[in-house]
Structure 1
Amino acid sequence: MDFNFSEEQQLLVDTVQRYVRDEYSFEARRDILKSPAGWSREKWQALAGLGLTALNVPEEHGGLGSGPVETMLVMNALGEGLVVEPFLPAAVMTPVLLTRIDDKAAAEQLLPDVASGERIVIVAHQEPQTRGEINHVATRAEKTSSGYVLDGVKNVILGGGAADELLVSARTAGRVGDTDGISIFRVDPKAAGVTVKDYGTIDGQRAADIELKKVAVPASSLVGAEGKAFAAIEAAHDQALSALCAEAVGIMKAVNATTLDYTKNRKQFGQPIARFQVLQHRMADMFLHSEQARSMSYLAAIRCVDSDAGERRRALSAAKAIVGQAGRFIAQQAVQLHGGMGMTEELMVSHYFKRLTAIDLTLGDADFHTQQFIAASNAA
Structure 2
Amino acid sequence: MRLNWGRTMDFNYTEVQTMLRDTLSRYLADTYNFDTRQKAVATGKGWNPAVWQAFAEELGILGAPFSEDHGGLGGGAVENMIVMEEMGRAIVLEPYLSTVVIGGGALKAVGGAVADAHIPGIIAGTTRIALAAYEPQSRWALHDLTTTLKGGVLNGQKAVVEGAAHATHLLVTARSSGGQRDAGGVTLLLIPADLPGITRRDYLTVHGSSASEVYFENVAIGADHVLGAADAGLAIVDQVVDEATAAACAEACGVLRVMHATTLDYAKQRKQFGKAIGDFQVIQHRLVDMFMEVEQSVSITLMATLKLDTAERAAAVSMAKAKVSKGARFVGQNAVQIHGGIGITQELAVGHFFKRATLLENQFGSADHHLARYEALTM
TM-score normalised by the shorter chain: which range applies?
A: over 0.9
* Paired position in structure 1 for 2:323: 322
Structure 1 position 178, deviation (Å): 2.2
Which residue does 2:105 correspond to in 1?
96
Aligned equivalent of 1:9 = 17
Residues 1-380 of structure 1 mapped to structure 2, 5 A cutoff: 1-49=9-57, 50-102=59-111, 104-143=112-151, 148-306=152-310, 308=311, 311-378=312-379
User: Aligned AA for 2:181?
Assistant: G
Could you tell me how far apart the structure 2 residues matched to 1:371 and 1:217 are? 36
Contact kept in structure 2, 1:235 and 1:305, CA below 8 Å: no
For the structure 1 residues 58 and 7, does the alpha-carbon distance in structure 2 shift closer, same or farther, using more than 3 Å as the test? closer
Task: State the 1:81 CA deviation.
Answer: 0.2
**1:302, distance to aligned residue in structure 2 (A):** 0.8
Find the aligned partners of 2:361 and 2:293 in 1 and give their Cα distance.
Answer: 15
Q: Partner amino acid for 1:240?
A: A
CA deviation profile, 1:164-192 (whole Å, cap 9, x unmatched) = 12122112112222222211223232222
Give the letter for the 1:225 counterpart. A
Deviation per residue, 1:245-296 (Å, 9 max, x gap):
0000011100111011111111111221111111001100100111111111
What's the Cα RMSD here?
A: 1.3
C-alpha distance in 2 between matches for 1:286 and 1:222: 45
> What is the count of residue pairs matched by the alignment?
370
Give the Cα separation in 1 of the matches to 2:222 and 2:301.
41
Q: More displaced, 212-221 or 56-65?
A: 56-65
Contact 2:259/2:353 (<8 A) preserved:
yes
Is the contact between residue 44 and residue 204 of structure 2 (CA under 8 Å) also seen in structure 1?
no
Task: Name the TM-score, length of structure 1 as normaliser.
Answer: 0.94
Q: What TM-score do you get using the length of structure 2 for normalisation? A: 0.95
Unmatched tracts of structure 1, length 5 or more: none
Shift of 1:227: 1.3
1 CA distance for matches of 2:356 and 2:350?
A: 10
Residue 38 and residue 317 in structure 1: after superposition, are their counterparts in 2 closer, same or farther (change >3 A)?
Answer: same
Q: What is the distance in 1 between the residues matched to 2:16 and 2:327?
A: 30
Percent pairwise identity = 39
**CA distance in structure 1 between the partners assigned to 2:136 and 2:69 by the alignment:** 37
* Aligned-residue offset at 1:56: 2.4
What is the distance in 2 between the residues matched to 1:270 and 1:251?
A: 31
- Residue of structure 1 in register with 2:5 after alignment: none
* Partner Cα distance (1:94, 1:237) in 2: 10
**Contact 2:66 2:76 (C-alpha < 8 Å) held by counterparts:** no
**8 Å Cα contact 1:101-1:229 kept in structure 2:** no
Instruction: Letter of the 1:65 partner, please give it.
Output: G
| AA partner of residue 37 (structure 1) | K
| Deviation for aligned residue 1:47 | 1.2
- Whichever residue aligns with residue 139 of structure 1, its letter is T
User: How far apart in 1 are the matches of 2:36 and 2:94?
Assistant: 13
